[in-house]
């Protein structure tokens, strides 16, 4: 009963916050009479969403396709690289600084290069999405694989467990509470990476839609695109959180 009440409150609070923010936005627009080309009010954005619904769904689907594939590829490579680092200290010493350097490189510096190398199709956007999703998973996976209790490790070793058995029965389960928060962060980064790559060069996707709308000073459509990709990103995030609740069930809290 207590958990159900908490869930109800957690659902109502974001909705209440949203209503308050929309009311404040509408009030400010009414008082200051802000031009739509500068800052459209919420009902103008809603009208743009409804008027361009088919186009928005099409472009959002393309961006989310790039984001999901980028997320899956980047996360998989991050986990595999973390396994390599755990079992090979020299590999970690040799490669970890380059992973950090990759993360520190601004996205806008990478996007034009990827467009030149891989063209303006889906591949460049998927690679960009994978690159930004890779690092959080790598760091958290390394932390999870190595943060094991010495007693548990010694127990498995006493039963002559192989490295593979220790990984499957101890390291991997232990890494899940560390890994899933990183995966949730990577969902949002994957969407950001794909969208930024579309800003640089694309014929489809929300980034392309926003750039085109900016050329024609259609600010309402720009906001509509932002709203659509934001909602899709939220859905992506909470889908991973749903999987986390099912898989890492022992970590549940009120």
Phi and psi, residue 106, nearest 5°: -60, 140
pLDDT score at 42: 87
Q: Which residue has the higher pLDDT, 142 or 36?
A: 142
Please compute the mean of the pLDDT values over residues 126-137 and round it to a whole number.
92
Predicted pLDDT at 181: 92
Cβ within 8 Å of residue 244, ≥6 positions away:
180, 183, 184
State the pLDDT confidence band at 158, using cuts at 50, 70 and 90.
confident
Rounded Cα distance between 45 and 188, Å, is 23
pLDDT score for 7 = 62
- Percent of the residues in the chain that have a pLDDT greater than 90, as a whole number: 38
Query: Which tokens is 53 given?
Result: 């619904």
Residue 130 pLDDT greater than 90, yes or no: yes
Residue ranges of the domains in the chain? 1-33, 44-251
Per-residue pLDDT band at 30 (split at 50, 70, 90): confident
Predicted local confidence at residue 173, as pLDDT? 85
Residue 1: per-residue pLDDT: 54
Give Cα separations from 68 to 59, 125, 150, 189 (angstroms).
14, 11, 37, 11
Cβ-Cβ contacts under 8 Å for 6 (sequence gap 6 or more) = 254
Q: Which CATH number fits domain 44-251: 1.10.1840.10, 2.60.40.1180, 1.20.1050.10, 1.10.3720.10?
A: 1.10.3720.10
Q: What is the pLDDT of residue 3?
A: 57
- What pLDDT, on the 0 to 100 scale, is given for residue 225? 93
Query: Using N-to-C axis directions, what is the helix angle for 53-87 and 122-146, rounded to 10°?
Result: 40
Q: Measure the CA–CA gap between 32 and 24, rounded to whole angstroms.
A: 12
SS3 state at 205: coil
Q: Give the pLDDT confidence score for residue 122 in this predicted structure.
A: 86
State pLDDT tens for residues 190-237: 999 999 888 887 788 999 899 998 888 889 999 999 999 999 999 999
The Cα–Cα gap between 224 and 164 comes to 49
d(CA 68, CA 245): 20
Exposure class string for 183-211: b at 16+ Cβ within 10 A, else e: bbbbbbbbbbbbbbbbbbbbebbbbbbbb
Predicted local confidence at residue 11, as pLDDT: 65
Over residues 117-121, mean pLDDT = 84
Mean pLDDT of the chain: 86
Query: pTM for the full model?
Result: 0.85
CB 172 within 8 A of CB 136: no
Kindly state the percentage of the chain with pLDDT values over 70: 94
Does position 159 have pLDDT exceeding 80, yes or no? no
How many helices (H) does the chain have, and how many strands (E)? 11, 0
pLDDT in tens, 52-81: 999 999 999 999 999 999 999 999 999 999
Instruction: Say what the pLDDT of residue 98 is.
Output: 84
Q: Do the beta carbons of residue 144 and residue 175 sit within 8 Å? A: yes
The residue among 196, 166, 209 whose CA lies nearest residue 105 is 196
């Amino acid at each position: 009963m207590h958990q159900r009440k908490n869930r109800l409150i957690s659902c109502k609070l974001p909705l209440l916050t949203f209503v308050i923010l929309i009311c404040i936005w509408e009030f400010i627009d009414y008082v200051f009479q802000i031009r739509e080309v500068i800052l459209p009010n919420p009902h103008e954005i809603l009208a743009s969403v409804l008027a361009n619904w088919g186009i928005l769904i099409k472009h959002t689907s393309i961006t989310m396709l790039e984001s999901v594939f980028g997320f899956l590829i980047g996360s998989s490579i991050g986990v595999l690289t973390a396994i390599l680092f755990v079992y090979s200290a020299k590999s970690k010493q040799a490669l970890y600084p380059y992973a950090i350097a990759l993360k520190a490189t601004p996205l806008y510096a990478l996007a034009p290069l990827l467009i030149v190398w891989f063209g303006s199709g889906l591949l460049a956007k998927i690679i960009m999405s994978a690159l930004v999703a890779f690092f959080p998973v790598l760091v958290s996976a390394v932390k999870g694989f190595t943060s094991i209790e010495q007693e548990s490790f010694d127990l498995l070793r006493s039963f002559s467990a192989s490295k593979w058995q220790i990984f499957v029965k101890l390291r991997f389960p232990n890494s899940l509470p560390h890994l899933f928060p990183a995966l949730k962060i990577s969902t949002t980064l994957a969407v950001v990476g794909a969208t930024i790559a579309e800003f640089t060069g694309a014929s489809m996707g929300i980034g392309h839609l926003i750039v085109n709308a900016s050329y024609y000073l259609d600010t309402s459509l720009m906001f509509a695109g932002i709203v659509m990709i934001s909602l899709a990103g939220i859905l992506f995030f909470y889908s991973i959180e749903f999987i986390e609740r099912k898989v890492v069930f022992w970590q549940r809290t009120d």
